[in-house]
Amino acid sequence: MILSGNDMEDRAVETVAALICAAARTAPKAKGIDNLFTLVVTGDDIQKISAEMRRVAKEDGVKFFERDAGNVDASKAIVLFGQNPVQLNIPVCGYCGYANCAENAKGSNVCAVSAGDLGIALSSAAAVAAAHHIDNRMMFSIGRAALNLGFFKNENVRIAYGLPLSVSGKSPYFDRKQ
């Protein structure tokens, strides 16, 4: 059997996407509370995300969404990370800007430590992609589009990011303009 390099690269992206999900899941979380959701997007669903990003760019005048949509179009897969931030009731914190967790909760605001857990998971994920030489770039814009499209099927997911993945001679995620 002879397999093309392109086929093997596609397999590598799928394998690394699975490893990324595992790395994000096992990343440390405050008080051990796991409120992370991960999805892997391929095929036509990638184009749904880039179309939504272009819609946001046009309707809201956010130019970087258009730029990022072009990056999404050059991707073989996207790993989505969503979080349902919860109040962790950590005494003497105040990182969210409120006096305490009870004050934060009154306004249905986001716990900074909980959101920080998502950042730790994202860092673990990007490290796995980099360790396997898969081009990647963390993007808020992808997460926003995924939330708009209801990809998570969980109305409690309020924060999301996307990690597009590519294997090419030159990373499509760098040397970007605006």
Q: How far apart are CA 129 and CA 61, in angstroms?
A: 31
Assigned domain for 132 exists:
yes
Q: Quick one: which of 83, 84, 80, 56 has its CA closest to 139?
A: 80
The whole-model pTM stands at: 0.94
Taken in order 58, 110, 71, 39, is the CA torsion positive or negative? negative
Assigned domain for 44 exists:
yes
Assigned domain for 14 exists:
no
Task: Give me the tens of pLDDT residue by residue for the chain, a chain 178 residues long.
Answer: 998 999 999 999 999 999 999 999 999 999 999 999 999 999 999 999 999 999 999 999 999 999 999 999 999 999 999 999 888 988 888 899 998 888 888 877 889 999 999 999 999 999 999 999 999 999 999 999 999 999 999 778 999 999 999 999 989 888 766 5
Q: Which domain holds residue 81?
A: 28-166
Domain count, the chain: 1
Assigned domain for 101 exists:
yes
Residue 161's CATH number: 3.40.109.10
